[in-house]
Amino acid sequence: MPLETPLHDPLVEASSAFAAEPVDGVSVVVPIHNEEENLLRLHAELTQALDRLGKPYEIILVDDGSRDASARLMEGIAARDERVKLILLRRNYGQTSALRAGMDRARFGAIVTIDGDLQNDPADIPAMIARLEEGYDLVAGWRRDRQDAQLTRKLPSRLANSLIRRVTGVPIRDLGCTLKVIRRPFLSELELYGDMHRFVSILMVQRGARWTEMPTTHRPRMAGVTKYGLWRTVVVLLDLITLKYLLDYSAHPMRLFGGLGLIAVLVGVLAFLGVIVMKVLGGTDMTGNPLLMLTVLSGLSALQFFSLGVLSEVLVRIYYGRAATRTHYSVRRAVNLDED
C-alpha cells in the first residue's frame, strides 16, 4: 500500500476526495540499451503481469542505439507478439529521449515507464494501475529496499533526492525510480530532453498533478552492466539548476536577471559612495582606488543582467507563441506501429 509522504502535501492529504477515473488501457514504455540477456525474461514477466489487468495493453520497446543483439531479439519478440511495439533509434540518445519516443506513440490512457534491466518488478504494475484509477494522475514507485551498492549508488541517490526535495519543495522520496504510472494527457505538456526523465514527477506536480507514491520491489541486477555511476550524480545536480530555473523563472526570466541586475546596481552605488567618502575624508586617490573598479564592473554587470532579462523575455514570448514540434530523437524504424 502507498505510504504517506513525510511532508504535508494537500494533494496527498485530500486523496479520499478523489473520484475514481478508470483507464481504457495500458501502454508500457521500456527504454532498452544493451540488455540482450534480460529481454526474453522481461517480455515474459511483463505479459504475465499485464494479462492480470483484464485491460487492453501494449508494450513499447525503444532500442536506444544498442550495440549488442538487443535489436534483433526485440524484432523477434515483436514478430511473435503483436502487442509489442518496437522503436529503433538511430543512435544512443539517452534514457530521456528513448522514453519520450515511446510516450509519443502510446495509445492508451495509462502510461507505465519501467527500466529494461529487470531491477524493477513488473508484478508491481497492476497495483499501481489500481491506485491510478482511484483518481491520481501520477503513481511514483519508491525503491524502499534498494538492491544496489551502498557507496556508489544508494548513498549518492539519497543525498541527491534529499537536495532535490529541498530545492523544489516536492516531497517525493525516490525521483530516480523509473517505474511510474502516468495519465497520458499530462505528457503532451512536458518538455523532456537531456536527462530530464528523472524530474518527470516534479514537472507533473508543478502542473497540478494529483500524485502518490507506492513502495515497489527492487531486485539485484541479474545480467548485463549498469549504465549509471557516481558521475551521474554530478549530472543530476547540474540538471537541478536547470530545473529550478524552469520551475521558478522560465515564464518570467526578467524576475531573475532583473533581480541580479538590481543587486549589481546596489553594489556599484555603495562602492562609488565609498570612493567619494575616502576621497573627501582621507584624500585617497580615486584613480587608484579598487572600489572605483568595483563600481565600473558592477555597472557593466547590471547592464548585462538587464540585457539578458530582456532577451530571455523575448525568447519566452517566441517559444510560447509557436507550437513545439521538434523532437529530440530520430527514429530509424518502427515495428507494429502505424509508421512502420
pLDDT reported for residue 282:
75
Sign of the Cα pseudo-torsion (143, 147, 153, 158, in order): positive
Model pLDDT, residue 334: 83
Grade residue 16 by pLDDT with cuts at 50, 70 and 90: very low
pLDDT confidence bin for 182, thresholds 50/70/90: very high
Q: Residue with C-alpha cell 562609488?
A: 272
Distances (CA, A) of 161 to 93, 148, 198, 319: 24, 16, 10, 30
Residue 182 pairs in a beta bridge with 111, 138
Mean pLDDT of all residues in 59-71 = 94
Q: Quote the DSSP letter at residue 120.
A: B
Percent of the chain with pLDDT over 90: 44
Q: What is residue 74's predicted lDDT score, i.e. its pLDDT? A: 95
The per-residue pLDDT for 322 is 60
Q: 128 near 217, Cβ under 8 Å? A: no
Q: Is the pLDDT of residue 10 over 50?
A: no
Residue 14: pLDDT band (50, 70, 90) is very low
Full-model pTM: 0.73
- pLDDT at residue 313 in the model: 81
Q: Could you give the count of Cα atoms lying within 13 Å of 239 in the half-sphere of its Cβ?
A: 20
Residue type, 251: A
> pLDDT over 70 for what percent of the chain?
84
Question: Given this model, what pLDDT does residue 243 score?
Answer: 78
Q: What is the pLDDT of residues 210-249, one digit of tens each?
A: 999 999 998 887 776 665 655 666 777 777 887 788 777 8
What is the pLDDT confidence band of residue 190, given thresholds at 50, 70 and 90? confident
Tell me: pLDDT of 39 over 80.
yes
Q: CB-hemisphere CA count at 13 Å for 87? A: 30
CA dist., res. 246 & res. 253, Å (int)? 9
Per-residue pLDDT, averaged over 123-131, amounts to: 95
Residue 157, Ramachandran bin (φ over 0: left; ψ between -120 and 50: alpha; else beta): alpha
- Strands of 110-113's sheet in order across: 211-215, 138-142, 180-183, 110-113, 26-32, 57-63, 84-89, 331-335
